[in-house]
Amino acid sequence: MSNHRGMMSDGRQVRNVYCIGRNYRLHAAELGNAVPEQPMVFLKPSHAVITMETDTMLPLPLDRGAVHHEVELVLRIGRRVKPGMTAAEAVDAFGLGIDFTLRDVQDILKQKGHPWLAAKGVLNSAPVTRVLPFPGTETLERTIFAMHNNGRLVQEGRAEEMLFSLDTLIEYTARHYGLGEGDLLFTGTPAGVGPVQAGDRLELSWDGELLGSCVIAAQI
């Protein structure tokens, strides 16, 4: 396996990277944000994606203020999505990922009404674990995923807790922006986001199984 940018653990190329904001009620509340009435979609560059294997070194711009971790269930689209298709028909694999966010930068961008790219799209800001075959929507929604930071549980959630279901996210994103083979969908983060610093070791697990880990480093 490779941890080259823009590639998945199985060697597949990443195309578009769609991310869903504020898709867990408690996460919206912890940041003081309103709960959206429809999916809030933003993009990351495919260059932000890097495969997360065992203690992958992950340089981030820690000198630009607080950098927060946001663990997420990540869906990989296996075919061109047509109207009416469900997640079970569209998704061929899934993994866990982190939407790293330059929080201080994002706060300034929000105040100015500017796009979030500078806070969300920096290199290495979308690491993804090894991927697993799609296990069925019900299993995917009911299984716990979690993140530990230096051995301490910091985030935990289930997809069934999302404001917008997997099927809704697939339908909405495809209808408005298009979804095709190789696209990724970061489905939102549960409560518990927080800052990282150099040397932190983050572990991502699915149903108690470790899927990948990384060690934070300062970007030179």
pLDDT at residue 220, as a whole number = 79
Structure-token pair, residue 212: 């990948």
* Cα 108 from Cα 114, distance rounded (Å): 9
**Residues 144, 190: contact at Cβ < 8 Å?**
no
| DSSP one-letter string for 71-133 | EEEEEEE-S---TT--HHHHEEEEEEEE--EEHHHHHHHHHHT--SHHHH-STTSEEE---EE
**Residues 206, 96: contact at Cβ < 8 Å?**
yes
Residue 174 belongs to what H/E stretch? helix 166-177
Mapping DSSP to helix (H, G, I), strand (E, B) and coil, where does residue 54 land? coil
pLDDT at residue 32, as a whole number = 72
Quick: pLDDT tens for 31-86: 676 778 899 999 999 999 999 999 999 999 999 999 999 999 999 999 999 999 99
Question: How does residue 1 score in pLDDT terms, banded at 50, 70 and 90?
Answer: very low
Quick: pLDDT tens for 82-134: 999 999 999 999 999 999 999 999 999 999 999 999 999 999 999 999 999 99
Quick: pLDDT tens for 139-193: 999 999 999 999 999 999 999 999 999 999 999 999 999 999 999 999 999 999 9
- The pTM score is 0.94
**Residues 140, 162: contact at Cβ < 8 Å?**
no
